[in-house]
């Protein structure tokens, strides 16, 4: 059975954050809230966790995982950005966007797109996520919690606990969460292409 932790949305309790970090370092899979619905997450090096997330979501190995970063400096270690991408993405983060970019050598090959060598990266605007990443000290391997046959991410922690009780190890509740996925911008070819409309305004990239 999954553990259920109710974290304060404005002032996350450090002891609870430490429990979540310990779970991640123990190769557990968590369901956690972001600024665009719930996501599934595990440590970057957790191969089994990656496979479990794919099974929960009903996806194959071609799925573009997202590396959730605490700040722009961390994002820049994982993805290659030219000047135009740097300026536009820096201005849009933190926020409900996911960017697909060429991966740097810091990214394990199993986390890249198998042919394009790209990676998804994002910086959420969410107090709990920032606090967690700050304590974890590294990005989180993540995927939006959209279950097979559904189109929107889950937004209720207790509902996820009931439905995925034996598929995830820990469910985090941290206040209200919007059930709208990120807007996905593919910048891997040197220009922005909006490939999924979501919570983030795409207009700033359509005009880029």
- Would you tell me the crossing angle of helices 127-136 and 14-25 to the nearest 10 degrees? 60
pLDDT tens for each residue of 93-145: 999 999 999 999 999 888 888 788 999 999 999 999 999 999 999 999 999 99
The domains located in the chain, with CATH, are: 3-206 (3.90.870.10)
Q: Which of 199, 197, 79, 68 is nearest to 123 (CA)?
A: 68
CA 3 to chain centre: 20
Residues 16-29 have a mean pLDDT of 98
Tokens matching residue 123: 């910086």
What's the token pair of residue 34?
A: 């972001």
Q: Give per-residue pLDDT as tens, 37-85.
A: 999 999 999 999 999 999 999 998 778 889 999 999 999 999 999 999 9
Dist CA 105 CA 21 (whole Å) = 25
Q: Compute how many other C-beta atoms are within 10 angstroms of the C-beta atom of residue 206.
A: 11
Asked whether the whole model's pTM tops 0.75, one would answer yes
Q: What would the two tokens of residue 163 be?
A: 């439905």
């Amino acid at each position: 059975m999954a553990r259920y932790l109710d974290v304060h949305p404005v002032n996350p309790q450090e002891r609870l954050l430490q429990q979540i970090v310990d779970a991640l370092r123990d190769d557990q899979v968590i369901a956690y809230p972001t600024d665009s619905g719930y996501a599934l997450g595990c440590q970057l090096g957790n191969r089994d966790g990656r496979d479990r997330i794919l099974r929960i979501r009903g996806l194959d190995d071609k799925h573009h995982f997202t590396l959730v970063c605490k700040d722009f400096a961390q994002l820049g270690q994982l993805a290659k950005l030219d000047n135009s991408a740097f300026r536009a993405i820096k201005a849009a983060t933190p926020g409900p966007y996911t960017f697909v970019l060429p991966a740097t050598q810091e990214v394990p090959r199993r986390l890249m797109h198998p042919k394009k060598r790209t990676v998804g990266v994002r910086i959420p605007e969410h107090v709990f996520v920032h606090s967690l990443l700050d304590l974890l000290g590294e990005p989180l391997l993540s995927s939006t919690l959209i279950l097979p046959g559904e189109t929107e991410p889950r937004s209720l922690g207790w509902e996820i606990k009931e439905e995925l009780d034996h598929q995830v190890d820990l469910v985090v509740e941290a206040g209200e969460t919007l059930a709208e996925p990120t807007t996905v911008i593919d910048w891997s070819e040197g220009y922005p292409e909006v490939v999924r409309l979501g919570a983030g305004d795409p207009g700033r990239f359509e005009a880029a």
